[in-house]
């Protein structure tokens, strides 16, 4: 008989998973702030890339 039974390990693992609380559900405001900041950052990066591409097209058109 093994020292650690597989069923005991599985039971303990499932109990740990089941005991986890839903942090995102409790702190919905923090998640909203993260999403808004992410969207703003993506917009700024897209604007920067757009400006660089437009400047490159302008230089190409001059030649």
Q: What is the pLDDT along the chain (63 residues), one digit of tens a residue?
A: 555 666 677 777 777 776 667 888 889 999 999 999 999 999 999 999 999 999 999 999 987
Res 33: pLDDT: 97
Q: What is the DSSP string of 16-49?
A: HHHT---HHHHTHHHHHHHHHHHHHHHHHHHHHH
Q: How many residues does the chain have?
A: 63
Whole-number Å distance between alpha carbons of 22 and 6: 28
pTM above 0.85, yes or no: no
Whole-number Å distance between alpha carbons of 22 and 25: 5
Res 43: pLDDT: 98
Structure tokens belonging to residue 24: 């995102």
């Amino acid at each position: 008989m093994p020292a650690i039974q597989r069923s005991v390990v599985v039971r303990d693992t499932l109990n740990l998973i089941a005991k986890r609380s839903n942090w995102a559900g409790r702190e919905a405001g923090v998640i909203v702030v993260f999403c808004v900041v992410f969207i703003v950052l993506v917009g700024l990066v897209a604007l920067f890339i757009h400006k660089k591409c437009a400047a490159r097209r302008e230089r190409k058109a001059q030649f």
